[in-house]
Structure formats: C-alpha cells, structure tokens
Amino acid sequence: MTLRDVAKLAGVAPITASRAINTPDQVSAEVLRKVQEAVVRTGYVPNRMAGGLASSRSRLIAAVTPSTVMSVFMGTIEALNGTLFDAGYQLMLGQTSYSAEREEALLEAIIGRRPDGIFLTGLLPPGKSRTLLMASGIPVVESWDLTPTPIDMLIGFSHSDIGREVARYLASKGHRKMAVVRASDERAEQRARAFSEEVLQLGLTPVVEVNVGSSRSITSGRDALTQLLDACPDVEVVFCSSDLLALGVLTQARVLNIDVPGRLAIMGFGDTPLASDMVPALSSVRINGEEIGQLAARCLMDRAEGREVLRPMVDVGFSVIERDSA
C-alpha cells in the first residue's frame, strides 16, 4: 500500500495525507481523522528510508525472535545470520520477550525501514501486525511452527506431533504417572496439550501440569519440581517445555536427593548445547534450527532478488534424543 492509496481512501490529496501523517498539527481534525482511518484500513506504514527509491534493495533482512539468551532459537539465528552475511546481506534482530505488544511495535518499526525480507520465529495471528505485513509486500518467512495459512513462506514443524511422540516414547519406557512443566507461550501449550491427550489415549493416569508463566529460568524449573512433588509425590517423569526448565528440575532433584532417572525421569525440549553436558545427560527433542535458518535465508534472498521459491512451505521435522535422564 502507498501514500496515494491512503489519500484516495481518505478523499484527500497525497500531499494532504502526507501532512496528516508526518505533521498532523498542520491539518484539520476532520482530515486527520479520515487519514488515520484510511491508514488503519489499508495497513499502510510510512517508509522511513527517506529519499530511497522504491526499486532499490536495502540488502537488509530483519528477524524477530522471542529470546536470544540461553535460547532454543540461537542456532536458527546464527545460521540465518551466517548465510545472509556470506551473500552480502545484513541481519537486523529484534527481541520480543514473548510480548505481543512489543512484537507489534517492532514489526511496525521494521516495516517502516523497508527491509528486503522479514523472518519471524513463530506464526503471526490475525490482527494489526499481520495486516501490516501483508499490506507491505515485503517477503516474510514464518518459522518454528506449521499452519495451512502462512502470511507468505513457512519453515517449521508440528508441536502437536512432538507432544504425542514424546508421550509414546515415555510410555514405552514403562512410565505411567507423567507431568509437564511449561512456560506460558502458544507453542509450549500445543506440545503440552497433545502430550496430555496422548497419555489419556494410552490409558494412563492424567498428566499433572505446572505452568511457570513467563519465567523461563533454572530457578523457575526448580520451583516447579517442588510444586509438582507437593501435588503428585509419586510422579515418575517430567516433560519440560525447554532444556533450561529441565536443568532447573534436574538441579532441584539433586538437592532433594532424588535419583534421576531411577526415581524420576526428565525430558527437555530443544536439545540445546548444554543438554548433552548435563550429568546425567538430558534427553530432549532436537529441532534442526540451523536448517531452518539456512532455508529461511535462501528463501528471503530468492524473493528479494526476483527468483521463484520452489518450496515456500517446508516441514523440517524433529527427533527425540535419548540420553541418561530418560
């Protein structure tokens, strides 16, 4: 969408629409209202790259991710950055801390700078941000999830399939009383829900769940195990929504002299580098984050340079990695 589209919808001249957006005190309240309504309806975001030609390429790719500190997304971001850098592109990184409000603000700022492409960790739900992205015409790759209706391109895997597969794996080890320790985000909820449903399908005891909210730390994992043992003292296995939470559960088990995996088995998610170095080594779900980053970079560069993307939707799958903890 362009400024002319906004002006046409508002019934004013393009120069008037420009004034309403950039210097609103120079137009009447009625004109300002009409232009603001047109901006909302069209999803128009002003181009902050002043003086840039519409046909020019910035060779800049923007990435929006929930977290980069001790994060399961680190491998993806590193591979995305490395692949882009080798091809002469630069990566601009924004962190949302799992906040929808921060994500919306970041995306509006990014769109205004007109990068050649945008990489999103996760799916963008219907709403203002999705409207802005679709209206911008900027190539977009959503990742780390699956949907039949992506904004543009998609590289991910099924969180529900992970939950079901982990439940079957743990049941095959003879575990009957299972629990979930998870943070409050949509992808973790998908895994936990599918895990619990599969456990019931297998005829086992209903899953006990501890939600640590927005706190994704070793401390919250430790606190979660204490809470879990109060609610279900005979729990046999804990499936955590991240390796970091699993490390907290494992640490607290040691403090309480609980044998792992003899008395309590622990399963993480992400197979981050620390997983194999824990004692005992942590069983986890491996996601090929590097492949996601490399594929996303190539898709965005192909679109930016006018080439056809032959596989705009890719399911990279996952693997359950068996180690000492489960």
| The domain defined by 159-286 carries CATH number 3.40.50.10310 | no
Residue 53 reports pLDDT greater than 70:
no
The C-alpha angle 291, 293, 295, rounded to 5 degrees, equals 65
| Positive or negative: CA dihedral 144, 293, 317, 153 | positive
Q: Where are the chain's structural domains?
A: 3-42, 60-157+289-316, 159-286
Across all residues in the chain, what is the average pLDDT? 92
Residue 56 reports pLDDT greater than 80:
no
Residue 52 reports pLDDT greater than 50:
no
Token couple for 280: 């005992």
Same fold, 60-157+289-316 and 159-286: yes
Residue 51's pLDDT is what? 45
Residue 243's pLDDT is what? 95
**Class of the CATH domain delimited by 60-157+289-316:** alpha beta
Q: Would you call 144 helix, strand, or coil by DSSP?
A: coil
pLDDT bin (cut points 50, 70, 90) of residue 48 is low
Residue 170 reports pLDDT greater than 60:
yes
Name the pTM for this structure: 0.82
Whether the upstream peptide bond of residue 261 has omega within 30° of 0, thus cis, is: yes
Instruction: Over range 25-47, report the average pLDDT.
Output: 90
Residue 205's pLDDT is what? 93
Counting residues of the chain whose pLDDT is more than 70, the rounded percentage is 96
Instruction: Over range 101-120, report the average pLDDT.
Output: 92
